[in-house]
Structure 1
Amino acid sequence: MPYLLKPLQAGSLLLNNRLVMPPMATAKAEPDGKVSSAVLDYYREKSAGGYFSLIIVEHSFIQQAGKASENQLSVADDSVIDGLKRLAAVIQANGTKAVLQINHAGSAASQEITGSIPVGPSAVKNPRKGGVPHELTRQEIGEIVAAFGAAAYRTKQAGFDGVEIHSAHGYFLNQFLSPLTNRRTDEYGGDLPGRIRIHKEVIAAVRAAVGEDFPVLLRLGASDYAEGGTTADDSQIAAKEFEKAGVNIIDISGGFSGYTIPGNNEQGYFAPLSTAVKEAVAIPVILTGGITDVQAAEQLLAQGKADLLGIGRAVLQDSLWAKKAVESQAQSAL
């Protein structure tokens, strides 16, 4: 059987193949972050036929101060739960598991959008966005950790099959992980164990909110690709700690470089990172990055570079990509 078509169990999450649609911001939500008919239509189309085993719904803000952009989905208060229920149901009706990614933008936010001064681990310029945030106090950190837990609880109430914590692409948790933006001298800064303390607190808050059996994923910006930034070695250590803390799947992407590597267009360009993390953990690892060809996808799995593959921009361009991939692999197995 082709690797692409093999089922996979991660905690209580049973996936019927190895294809994942990764979170990609659509800017289709209502201005207040509620689920719109455009959001429902988009995910209905992308999940049609159930060819993706899993769809991770785009990053949703956990509090107004952490909103990244206009028309971003919200999971920030109980008023959004009904709309999120409809969204989860639309995806699941097509036979696909649905996970919601929860996020705080931190210093990548802007006052024009949130109405408040952006916050971050340190008063250091955000390498991607340029703004200098307010440096968070311990009490303020605790409040954001609690907001992640509350958002995860709403995700479960809305009927999703799991929740993904966002720590990539230069957003809040990535800002704590990266020495480029974390210059703190207290227990939340310094060496790697200090810089991932908040991640462990967020995972604990999420676990406390959703219980032991609800799948928890974490998207890890596994390298900043910048001098003085995070490296694959850091991510191996961090991923081990996240596994111990109760994460069921690690989803690999870039850090402050975002979801691309400048000058690298090969398929699965984050494969060196997913391979390194896979060596360090026993839980499944998702690899995303420029995968457009089903043969390349099959090869990445066959070579053990990852357990699951995120197919992003190829699916934005062609909603039938997963259908064609599954059918071609099924044909080749005959």
Structure 2
Amino acid sequence: MSFLTKSFDNGRIKLKNRLVMPPMATAKAHNDGKVSREVLDYYHEKSKGGYISLIIIEHSYVSEDGKASLNQLSVADDSCVEGLKQLAEVIHKNGSKAVMQLNHAGSLARKEVTVNTVGPSHVLNPRKLNDTIPRELSKDDIRGLTARYKDSALRAKEAGFDGVEIHSAHGYLLNQFLSPLTNKRTDEYGNDIYGRVKFHLEVIKAVRDAVGDDYPVFLRLGASDYMEGGTTIEDSKIASKLFEEAGVNVIDISGGMCGFILPDNKEQGYFASLSEAVKSVVGIPVILTGGITDASAADKFIQEGKADFIGVGRAVFADSDWAKNAMESLQ
């Protein structure tokens, strides 16, 4: 039985196979972040046939000051819900499940889309996608943003999504709190790993309180920065256990301040050492992504217990029939 035919059911997460399409920004939304015809067509094409068990929607901003780029999807206000309902329906009709990813860009917000760039500390983001040094968030600001995540999760649930994913990878706001490279705070939201995940735990609690005990909550974790002085896998093992205790149902592994790629590593599943390490300390499912284009390699990662699910992104982005062809190749 291959990863494309092996189902998963732990009582909370139920999927027909182990293939996940991870979130990938399309820049196809309307200028105000609402779902467009182009967004609906894109996700229809990617989910057709239902070969992919779960589609995680591209990162969608929870507040205007957290908008990363032009034409990004929004979950920031109630007027977005109707379009999001259509998006969930398109994917469900094709036989796949859908999870909405919630994000705040923090210091990676582009100047052309927001004038109020914020972050945990007054330092430049090491991803250097812009040259903006953010305003340091106050404790009141953090409480306000926690409420934004909560409200956005409720909108996703109302729209019919099968779960939400809290984004803490690729150098965005929650990842900025996680990383010592961007979190220089000396209050309870900084210092050691326990302080650096305090904001995460407050967001998880707020989201869990809002959506209820039975609604799936994922967290995408930038498990290593691969930079001197940055987040390490040992940090992320501690963080992952805390996230599980707080009510997260799935940990979705990716890179931190390095983004979603490792420039010097072209191997299949280049984040496999991270997913394997996290999986060894938690009892909830773990998703592995990172350069996976070969179905047999994906299958091997599942067989070897390096992850519970495989995220195939760029290959599916380039070829909407990738999953169909992969299933045929493994028969």
User: Under TM normalisation by the shorter chain, which class is it?
Assistant: over 0.9
Write the mapping of 1:82-101 to structure 2, written as runs, cut at 5 A: 82-101=82-101
Look up the match of 2:196.
195
Question: Is contact 1:10-1:249 (8 Å) kept?
Answer: no
Look up the match of 2:286.
285
Amino acid at match of 1:51: Y
Write the mapping of 1:70-89 to structure 2, written as runs, cut at 5 A: 70-89=70-89
Question: Is contact 2:29-2:71 (8 Å) kept?
Answer: yes
2:198 and 2:317 map into 1 onto residues whose CA distance is 35
Look up the match of 1:183.
184
Segments ≥4 residues shifted beyond 6 Å: none
Write the mapping of 1:30-109 to structure 2, written as runs, cut at 5 A: 30-109=30-109
Write the mapping of 1:1-334 to structure 2, written as runs, cut at 5 A: 1-114=1-114, 116-128=115-127, 129=129, 130-329=131-330, 331=331
Q: 1:11 to 1:100 in 2, by over 3 A?
A: farther
Identity of aligned residues (%): 65
Amino acid at match of 1:327: E
Q: Could you say what secondary structure the match of 1:230 adopts?
A: coil
The RMSD of aligned alpha carbons is: 0.9
Q: Could you say what secondary structure the match of 1:112 adopts?
A: coil
1:98 and 1:254 map into 2 onto residues whose CA distance is 22
Question: Is contact 2:75-2:156 (8 Å) kept?
Answer: yes
Superposed displacement of residue 142, structure 1 = 0.3
Superposed displacement of residue 327, structure 1 = 2.8
Superposed displacement of residue 328, structure 1 = 2.7
1:284 and 1:321 map into 2 onto residues whose CA distance is 24
Question: Is contact 1:69-1:109 (8 Å) kept?
Answer: yes
Q: Residue by residue, what CA displacement relative to the aligned partner does 1:221-243 show, whole Å, maximum 9, x if unpaired? A: 00000000001111111000000
Q: 1:250 to 1:320 in 2, by over 3 A?
A: same
Superposed displacement of residue 111, structure 1 = 3.0
1:11 and 1:203 map into 2 onto residues whose CA distance is 20
1:29 and 1:10 map into 2 onto residues whose CA distance is 34
Superposed displacement of residue 176, structure 1 = 0.1
Figure out how many residues of one structure are paired with residues of the other and give that number. 329
Q: Could you say what secondary structure the match of 1:101 adopts?
A: strand
241-250 or 4-13, larger mean C-alpha shift: 4-13
2:184 and 2:9 map into 1 onto residues whose CA distance is 39
2:73 and 2:300 map into 1 onto residues whose CA distance is 35
Superposed displacement of residue 10, structure 1 = 4.7
Q: Residue by residue, what CA displacement relative to the aligned partner does 1:164-216 show, whole Å, maximum 9, x if unpaired? A: 00000000000000000000000000000000000000000110111110000
2:208 and 2:188 map into 1 onto residues whose CA distance is 22
Superposed displacement of residue 11, structure 1 = 4.8
Q: Could you say what secondary structure the match of 2:58 adopts?
A: strand
Q: Could you say what secondary structure the match of 1:113 adopts?
A: coil
Amino acid at match of 1:320: D
Superposed displacement of residue 110, structure 1 = 2.4
1:139 and 1:220 map into 2 onto residues whose CA distance is 25
Q: Residue by residue, what CA displacement relative to the aligned partner does 1:40-71 show, whole Å, maximum 9, x if unpaired? A: 00000000000000000000000000000000
Amino acid at match of 2:238: I
Superposed displacement of residue 9, structure 1 = 2.1
Q: Provide the TM-score with structure 1 as the length reference.
A: 0.97
- What are the ranges of 5 or more consecutive residues in structure 1 without an aligned counterpart? none
Amino acid at match of 1:37: R
Q: Could you say what secondary structure the match of 2:113 adopts?
A: helix
Q: Residue by residue, what CA displacement relative to the aligned partner does 1:106-134 show, whole Å, maximum 9, x if unpaired? A: 011123202x2200000011111332100
Q: Residue by residue, what CA displacement relative to the aligned partner does 1:4-60 show, whole Å, maximum 9, x if unpaired? A: 421112552310000000000000000000000000000000000000000000000
2:22 and 2:235 map into 1 onto residues whose CA distance is 23
2:110 and 2:145 map into 1 onto residues whose CA distance is 17
2:281 and 2:315 map into 1 onto residues whose CA distance is 29
Amino acid at match of 1:226: M
Question: Is contact 2:3-2:19 (8 Å) kept?
Answer: no
Superposed displacement of residue 262, structure 1 = 1.7
Question: Is contact 2:201-2:243 (8 Å) kept?
Answer: yes
2:5 and 2:273 map into 1 onto residues whose CA distance is 23
Question: Is contact 1:10-1:248 (8 Å) kept?
Answer: no
